[in-house]
Amino acid sequence: MISAFDKELLRDRRLTTGRLDSRFVGTDREATGERNEFDPSYAAIQGPFTAMFYAYAHDALGWTSDLPYEALTDRVSPWSFREWSNEYLNVAEDLRRAMAVNPSLKVFVANGYYDLATPYFATRYTFDHLGFEPNYPQRVTMRYYEAGHMMYIRHAELRKLKEDIAAFLRSAGGG
């Protein structure tokens, strides 16, 4: 369980690591326990991202509301995982089926080395075990970044991500 890893990795220093980006560290009230009190990486970005969203929505889109912006919360609906009750969520078969139905479909995967929300080795494992037809691996582009879940919070990785996506779009479009 990732939350146990976040709590255990730096327990001897009374620190916890972030789930979205394990380079971020925090301090819990208690060094004991199975999981950290909060995700230090999310705590670092939540305020700036929310403020940025409000500024963009208001200034660029002209939208205002008294409703709070809900990010990564169970108050956002209609998210439901009932279909996967008592099992893990696996959409690999949906992707395999989409690639089978659309032979022109190409996939770009951005992986952050410090992402514990979607660890890059898990991503690689998933793509290595999709039951690919012989041409499927040629239709998947994987890129890796010195970052966590949101590689765009680090300027150098944002630049690299932009270049990689532009190159992918050029190749996917045939030119």
Copy the structure tokens of residue 16: 């916890």
Helix, coil or strand: residue 82: helix
> One-letter amino acid identity for 156?
A
Is-contact 142 130, C-beta < 8 A? no
CA dihedral (37, 39, 43, 44) in degrees, to 10, reads 140
> One-letter amino acid identity for 107?
V
Distance (Å, whole) CA 102 – CA 106? 9
Instruction: Using the structure block, give the residue that is written with the tokens 């439901």.
Output: 80
Is-contact 43 35, C-beta < 8 A? no
Residue range 50-71, pLDDT digits in tens:
899 889 999 999 999 888 888 7
> One-letter amino acid identity for 38?
F
Q: Residue 80 pLDDT more than 80?
A: no
Residue range 142-157, pLDDT digits in tens:
999 999 999 998 899 9
Higher per-residue confidence, 84 vs 66: 66
The beta-carbon contacts of 92-100 under 8 Å, at least 24 apart in sequence, are 92/126, 92/129, 92/130, 95/130, 96/130, 96/131, 96/132, 99/130, 99/136, 99/139, 100/133
> One-letter amino acid identity for 123?
T
> One-letter amino acid identity for 174?
G
pLDDT (mean) for 66-95: 79
**Per-residue model confidence (pLDDT) at position 77:** 66
Residue range 91-135, pLDDT digits in tens:
899 999 999 999 999 999 999 999 999 998 999 999 988 877 888
Please give the C-alpha separations between residue 4 and each of 1, 11, 20, in angstroms, as whole numbers. 6, 10, 14
Specify which residues 108 forms β-bridges with: 141
Considering the entire predicted model, what is its pTM?
A: 0.81
Q: Residue 167 pLDDT more than 90?
A: yes
Cβ-based burial of 105 (10 A; exposed 0-12, middle 13-18, buried ≥19): middle
Rg (the chain; Cα; Å): 19
